[in-house]
Structure 1
Amino acid sequence: MTNLEEQQSALQSEIARLKSDVEFMKNRAESDYDAVVREQIERDPVASQMRQRLTEWEVALATQLASFGENHRRVKEIRDARDQARKDLEDRQKQIGDIVRQSEYILNRENLDSRTAELNARKEQLEAAQKSHTELRNARAEYEEAETKRDELQKQFESFDTLIKKVNTLVTSPDRTKIQYESILIRNPLEKDWPRWYIHVPAGFVLGLMLGLGIAFLLELSNNLLRTPRDVMRHVTAPLLGMICDQQADDETDGVDLLQVVRQAPYSFMSDNYRQFRTNLRLSESASNKKILLVTSPTSGDGKTTIVLNLTATFIAEGKKVLVIDTNFRRPGLSGNLPRPPQGQDQGHADFGLSNYLLGQCSDPRDIIRQSGTEGLDVIDCGPIPPNPAEVLGSVTMKKLLDSVRESYDYIFLDGPALLVSDAKALASLVDGTLVVFNAKRTRRGEAQRTLRELREIQATVVGTVLLCVENLKGGYFEKLYKAYKKYQEIPQKA
């Protein structure tokens, strides 16, 4: 490798010299002729003949000038010939100078390229030698490290061999009662490696928090109930006119019949929810000038009868006259919740109901309308269950009945069946509008969307929706509203 470095240094010096020669040749090409060029010109036979001819023309010119004068024709011809000979000589000298300098320049340039290529080859050889030297040095270091480990292992082996010999001596000793057990002390670790509390406790806390949030997020995604008013407004394309709180969210409704909560607990938060629902329904643009309203829901047991009875009570409190018709032939509910008054006070027939009128067993609507025992509220019971409820409810007779009682009442509510059966669709095409009841504990988003889609397919008018059994979620809208309502209801103490 030292020899290669010396060769590289010599080549670098040679290249520097050649570069200097090339630069010198460039400068010579731009300057006058030097001694080498002049020597080549002197030795050139063509240039010698041209110089001799030039001398002859100059002698002839001098002779003619002496004989004829400056302006003679012969003198001018000889002068032109002399000038041409001089120009030819100068061109020849320039040509010889260019040839000499060009050949020297090319020669030096070729030498420079050759030396440069040789230098590059030497550099590659030097790099390869340096790489081999580095690998050799690394291998030597690894070898020395391996020797050190070998010496350490040899020492450990000798130590183990000594211990084995001691154990064999103790085992084979005839006087075992005098054996003295030597304890081999094992050095305790300097620090505890596992667990590292300063890492594992924060990491466990973060992982537990992320796991809890992930489980909560998955539970929220899997729960597709319409639990809050925001869910209704987000997933249902119909106005939300009312929100009725759950019984557990209102302390004043404990032990109160939910079908009569407006009458039995008029100052409760739930009763105020019904009054707000009544106001929204009355002022809603979608329910404007609509007197006959069907109350239905996606499935049975969602609370249609509860909504009808309490909403009716709020209108009666305003002095309105209301008629409630039980059109749920599948599961009638008004007869048990609005029992007939004593026989002497009932204006209707004791046994007739809606089905009797629709089947032609009576012709006067007054035969099926009865009093409820509450002023301003009349009722039409469903009567005996017919074999074909959908056809009966969608008949022309049902349409005539609604038209005949329209002018006698301010509002007419039909406690209808769930949209699971075709009865509700038949009624929805006869009334002015339809109210859809959603239960926050039962109604799923898909059921609500299906209900509204089926009503729109038959071109029924959906005036709005109401959400029943809304839970008082911690930090939610209903909790804040309930606290504000309770605080507003407090009677200030006199000073």
Structure 2
Amino acid sequence: MSQSTSVPVPPMAVRSAAAASDTPDLLYVLRHYRWLIIAGVILGTLAGAAIWFALRRYNPEWTANAVFQVMPPQVNPVARPAEGVQNADDTARFIRRQVLYITADRVLDKALQSKEFRTESWQSKWFAANSRNPSQALRKAVDVSPLPNTDVFRVSMTTRDPQESANLVNAIGRVYMEMLRQDQAEDEARRMSELNALTKKVGDTVKDLNERLNEFRNTHDIAAMTATHNIAMRTLDALTTEFLRSERDLTSAKAGLENVKKQVEAGTLTLSADMEAMIENDPTVRSLENQKLSLQSDKEVLLSRVSPQHESIRAIDTRIATATRQAEDQRSKLRAAARLRMQENAENVFKSIQAAEEDLRKRRDEKEKEVRDLDRWLVQHAQMVEELKVNQDILNNLKSNQTIEALKMLTDYSRVRLFTEARVPEEPSWPKWQMFIPGGFLIGLLLSYGLGYLLELTNTRVRTPRDITRTMQLPLLGFVPDQQDDVNHVGEISTSIRTAPTSMIAESFRLIRGQLAAAQNGHNFNTLLVASIAPGGGATTVAANLAIGMALNDSKVLLIDANFYRPGVKATFKEAPVIGLSDVIADPSKLDSAIAPVGDIDKLHVMSAGTRNSAGTGEMLESKSFREVLATLKGRYDMVIFDGAPLSLVGDSISLGAKVDGVIAIVRAGVISRGTIARVREQLRAVRANLMGIVLNAAQTHGAGYFKENYRTFYKYAQQKETAGSAS
């Protein structure tokens, strides 16, 4: 049957799953809205530059910096500190502490009392501007930060006056150094006192640990306990491995049982072939099947004497239906019983594995308890040994530190020194053009591109091949330019291949015909439905040009008007008789009189829609008479092309699509939405119609300019060909 015919899609029409997306392509949006994006970038850049210029002229800020260096720690107070030997992590931690120290309230509050901030008769500009809460303002204004990968950190402050910013930073640095030396001396004295007390405490702890360890060794045989522990561990490992294997088996059995139960409850558990055979051999089932066969035989005998609508025939049909239903009910009962037996077998397997797993669990738990008891004694001994060692090391270090701290108190050493004092800044620190101009550029780019992306995202109409192949994931057989964009086209577009053979439109139809020829090669394919997705798509134009092109290519073609609502073939081909498809379906003997050849194309014949109205056309296309007519035409012609009604409006074309070898859907560019095409695609799939592809009709060059380059290249090539022909 034609429904099962599978014709491969031509190579150019195969869609890429990897490229599928319901969202616009980023590069496509960039090309489509490039002038909008360029304008947005220019405006954003100009706005950023204007803001930067205004702020630099009327509201600049100046930042002064003082740099402090961290020296290596004083390991040996007698020797000079060596540059570069300090630990990087220790230096980083020390600098972080200094950052917190400088920004502490006690340092900043004391700095506010210095002469650089104010005296009894004078105030700095910064202090006057922040006199309401100078402490909080100073904490926000002062910035202390380490310089990456160095041993220095920076103290900076931003004000409206360059000279004042340098003076205030130097005042903060001076106060910081004074308080740091004072705190350092107090810390050293306190550390020495704490160190002496700690050394005595740790010494007492070491003495007590030695006594406890000796007592423990006298009451426990550590060597024998260790050997027993090793044997128990190996046994436990073997039991654990076996237990884990049993748990996996139990889990698998439980999952299998649950799966069987679910399938039994849902009635979807698959029975074996033997079980199905047993069900079919059930006496009741066999008896009902034999009864049904006997009734069907009686029906065939009666049909030879009476009509199918006779009362006796209907009575036999009722008895056949009853026997069929009873047989299916008996099968359902037998299958349910078989599934319950399968569930019982799965439960028995699960219980067996569960019992084995429980036995292994008990044996493992007993061995674990034995190992834990041994571990407790061995760990206690190891902890006592380790604790003694740690405390002994601490005691040794404390005695060494006592000596070092005593020597430090005799020297004056600070790890921080002023590396560079703050100088008057020459350039304002804010605003920075590197932030405002690129920022305006970026904001303008993002806003304009986002606007273009939003416009593209909200447009759901099909306009370009990309909308079909990438967004809709449908095969594209080709596209036909808009008639107004083809400067070489003359005459009627419905017969372009014959009346304007050198035009871009005619060449487009030839490409579509070539795709169909590639699909037809090696396959039984000689009936085709051409129908628009919606009215005005141009199905008659495409069908007529394909028919002309195939006929000119030495194929015997019949073009049939199957649009009973708005026939169009008769208007294109005046040779078409008044009697048409609807008349032939009603009376197949009129077939020959309904077909007429086209005058100047020997192998092209046409048939109109006929004289009958559109009422009941769906039933006509479903009739046995139509199937017989279609079979006759397939034997006479190489290709039978139906010009159908719009697929989205009437069911005639959907029904016809299920009976032909292939369907071509016509979409007029910029008119049909993606949702409409998707609905038609699902309707065709529902009747198992073979949708060979989409033809995009009336594709225009304006707008995104998608086809401009194709058209320009075609006409340039055509002109070169004509010039070469004239020269020869």
User: How would you bin the TM-score normalised by the shorter chain?
Assistant: 0.5 to 0.7
Larger radius of gyration: 1
1:395 pairs with one of 623, 629, 634: 623
Aligned partner of 2:475: which letter?
P
**For 1:427-478, what per-residue CA distance to the aligned partner results, in whole angstroms no more than 9, with x for missing partners?**
1122122112222222322222222221111111222322222233689664
Q: Hey, what's the Cα distance between the residues in 1 that align with 2:551 and 2:124?
A: 105
The answer for the alignment partner of 2:638 in structure 1 is 410
Aligned partner of 2:451: which letter?
I
1:199 Cα deviation after fit: 9.0
TM-score (norm 2): 0.39
Report the secondary structure of 2:509's partner residue: helix
- 8 Å CA contact 1:238, 1:465 repeated in 2: yes
- 8 Å CA contact 2:112, 2:118 repeated in 1: no
1:412 Cα deviation after fit: 0.8
1:315 Cα deviation after fit: 1.2
The answer for the alignment partner of 2:548 in structure 1 is 313
The answer for the alignment partner of 1:242 in structure 2 is 478
**For 1:127-173, what per-residue CA distance to the aligned partner results, in whole angstroms no more than 9, with x for missing partners?**
9xx9879746635769946853699xxxxxxxxxxxxxxxxxxxxxx
1:267 pairs with one of 495, 502, 514: 502
- 8 Å CA contact 2:117, 2:123 repeated in 1: no
Alignment identity in percent? 31
1:352 Cα deviation after fit: 2.1
Structure 1 pair 149/276, CA: closer, same or farther in 2 (3 Å)? Answer: same
- 8 Å CA contact 2:655, 2:687 repeated in 1: no
Structure 1 pair 137/268, CA: closer, same or farther in 2 (3 Å)? Answer: closer
Report the secondary structure of 1:452's partner residue: helix
2:708 pairs with one of 471, 474, 479: 479
Q: Hey, what's the Cα distance between the residues in 1 that align with 2:544 and 2:108?
A: 98
**For 1:350-381, what per-residue CA distance to the aligned partner results, in whole angstroms no more than 9, with x for missing partners?**
x4222222234x63311322334343222211
- 8 Å CA contact 2:531, 2:653 repeated in 1: yes
Q: Hey, what's the Cα distance between the residues in 2 that align with 1:215 and 1:329?
A: 46
- 8 Å CA contact 1:287, 1:433 repeated in 2: no
Structure 1 pair 286/222, CA: closer, same or farther in 2 (3 Å)? Answer: farther
1:325 Cα deviation after fit: 0.9
2:656 pairs with one of 427, 437, 443: 427
1:336 pairs with one of 562, 571, 574: 571
**For 1:25-61, what per-residue CA distance to the aligned partner results, in whole angstroms no more than 9, with x for missing partners?**
xxxxxxxxxxxxxxxxxxxxxxxxxxxxxxxxxxxxx
Structure 1 pair 272/148, CA: closer, same or farther in 2 (3 Å)? Answer: same
Q: Hey, what's the Cα distance between the residues in 1 that align with 2:107 and 2:466?
A: 78
The answer for the alignment partner of 1:359 in structure 2 is 586
The answer for the alignment partner of 1:323 in structure 2 is 558
Report the secondary structure of 1:430's partner residue: coil
The answer for the alignment partner of 1:212 in structure 2 is 448
- 8 Å CA contact 2:485, 2:700 repeated in 1: yes
User: Structure 2: which 5+ runs fail to align?
Assistant: 1-100, 126-430
Structure 1 pair 453/352, CA: closer, same or farther in 2 (3 Å)? Answer: same
1:378 pairs with one of 605, 616, 624: 605
Aligned partner of 2:709: which letter?
K
Q: Matches of residues 46-85 of structure 1 in structure 2 within 5 Å?
A: none
Aligned partner of 1:322: which letter?
V
Aligned partner of 2:609: which letter?
C
The answer for the alignment partner of 1:445 in structure 2 is 674
Q: Hey, what's the Cα distance between the residues in 1 that align with 2:516 and 2:120?
A: 93
1:295 Cα deviation after fit: 1.0
TM-score (norm 1): 0.56
Report the secondary structure of 1:251's partner residue: coil
Q: How big is the alpha-carbon RMSD for the aligned residues of Structure 1 and Structure 2?
A: 3.7
- 8 Å CA contact 2:565, 2:614 repeated in 1: no
Number of residue pairs the alignment of both structures matches: 317
Q: Hey, what's the Cα distance between the residues in 2 that align with 1:244 and 1:150?
A: 80
Report the secondary structure of 1:469's partner residue: strand
Structure 1 pair 273/147, CA: closer, same or farther in 2 (3 Å)? Answer: same
Aligned partner of 2:509: which letter?
Y
2:701 pairs with 1:469: no
Report the secondary structure of 2:501's partner residue: coil
Report the secondary structure of 1:382's partner residue: coil
User: Structure 1: which 5+ runs fail to align?
Assistant: 1-126, 152-194, 342-347
The answer for the alignment partner of 1:181 in structure 2 is none
Q: Hey, what's the Cα distance between the residues in 1 that align with 2:574 and 2:676?
A: 33
Q: Hey, what's the Cα distance between the residues in 2 that align with 1:305 and 1:455?
A: 20
